[in-house]
Amino acid sequence: DHVFMSVWHQRAPAKFVSTLPQAIANETYSDPQNSWVNRFNWDRTFTNTLLNHMSMGYLNRNEGYGSVNQGFLDDFPRIPGVAGYNVPPRIQFVDDQFTAYGSNAGVNIGNVTTRPTFIINDMVTWTKGAHTLKFGMEFRKIMGNIHNNGNQAGTFEFGAGATGLVGSNSGSPIASFLLGAVDNGNAAFRAVDSRYPRQHAWIFHGGDTWRVNNKLTIDYGLRWDYYSPSSEKYDRFSFFDPAGAN
């Protein structure tokens, strides 16, 4: 028997980097942010002509993005009518020369996404005379665990129109902001803030390498792949295909 295993882990610390002071920063950060890639192989030799190879693998990416300024929630007014108050609202301006205040990404813990994926495959190799026969299978389980709480406190944009003169290219987005004259705004209202996509695959294959003589070798085989349609763990996905059969 021959056994091989590898474990790989990557982790990055949270980085609260911002151009503006952190209380009004518009950047995001990620915490947690880590990955796992693990492998296990097992080769077993039954006889001089019969070998089995089995492999397993696990992959996962774990990350949660949030607003750099989420810790300053109580330093800002809570605008009525939005979906929630988990971070300060985002203030942005129609004129690109003015930097936006705040981030609408939400709280990192409420945005954690993981992508666990499992795989196992097995292959038998059997040498008999002039033939080398190989038969195998593979199973894959692909998953996602997605959470989102972004833009609950709203995004509000200010333009020059509210403080400009009619028929004149005037006004200032900053002046409109100081007066509280919003040009447009939006917030995310979610009935479901988490979703769990799932998919799996089965593969079966068989083949033969036939050494007819010293000058001729023939390889042939069959392979069957099945990929399941995407689904959601709690049946909260729907799909529409305009070209599909009714």
- Helical (H) or strand (E) element with 108: none
Instruction: Look at residues 85, 82, 91 and name the one whose alpha carbon lies nearest to residue 72.
Output: 85
Q: Is the pLDDT of residue 144 over 80?
A: yes
> What is the 3-state composition of the chain as percent helix, strand, coil, each rounded to the nearest 5?
10, 50, 40
Could you tell me if 102 and 87 are in contact, meaning their C-beta atoms sit under 8 angstroms apart?
yes
Is the model's pTM score more than 0.75? yes
**Residue count of the chain:** 246
Average pLDDT for residues 58-67, to the nearest whole number?
A: 95
pLDDT digit string, tens, across residues 101-129:
999 999 999 999 999 999 999 999 999 99
Tell me the C-alpha distance between 5 and 17, whole Å.
Answer: 38
C-alpha separations of 135 from 71, 118, 120, 123, 139 in Å:
57, 21, 14, 6, 14
